[in-house]
Structure 1
């Protein structure tokens, strides 16, 4: 998904041809925020249609990890509680999962 200025984004990226979504999660979080995932579960899978392409988004809840998260690519990071999230602050493709996080508290 292209960067959207002034929007909050989850860490993540593309699934490589030789990996599962779970393997991509582990690799991307190591690359982007320097943590090693030790326990996670699938939270949601969404399909989104852009004007020029269709994407599948996999959202995982990371329940435990090793290391201290930090923006390895220079991006700022922050922890936010589900009820404080604003769907409009995220790219449109993320809005359904943000609403689900808010509903679950």
Structure 2
């Protein structure tokens, strides 16, 4: 089974984080997620994160810090999530690809609303 390496950005503003809704026809569709995307061959995680967040939510990453690395096997897909907390950015994040989005308090994030691999991200955020 192929491992899909994904750069994930937890965009933070105070106690809130920015999340987007996966398209219904996507893998794990209809669930909320932290934005990001695949790390391309020859690309660093930082470069992938910067590129993906510009493409998906229209921001320029200025400062980010590693938060956690998660590997999860969905059965049909094995993912490695390289998660970074985005501390400073330019622009206002929005659903640049037409996806729904919202800011939500970390304390109110419900793991059941997210793909299984994202649940460890929520745990990491709530413990910091």
- TM-score normalised by structure 1 residue count: 0.91
Give 1:98 shift: 0.8
- Determine the structure 1 residue equivalent to 2:52: 28
* Structure with higher RCO (Cα < 8 A, 6+ apart): 2
1:54 aligns with 2:78: yes
Q: What residue ranges of structure 1 are gaps of 5+ in the alignment?
A: none
Q: How does 1:1-105 map to 2 (within 5 A)?
A: 2-104=26-128
**RMSD of aligned C-alpha atoms?**
1.4
Q: What residue ranges of structure 2 are gaps of 5+ in the alignment?
A: 5-25
CA distance in 2 between partners of 1:35 and 1:5 (Å): 23
Which has the larger strand fraction? 2
- TM-score normalised by structure 2 residue count: 0.75
Which has the larger helix fraction? 1
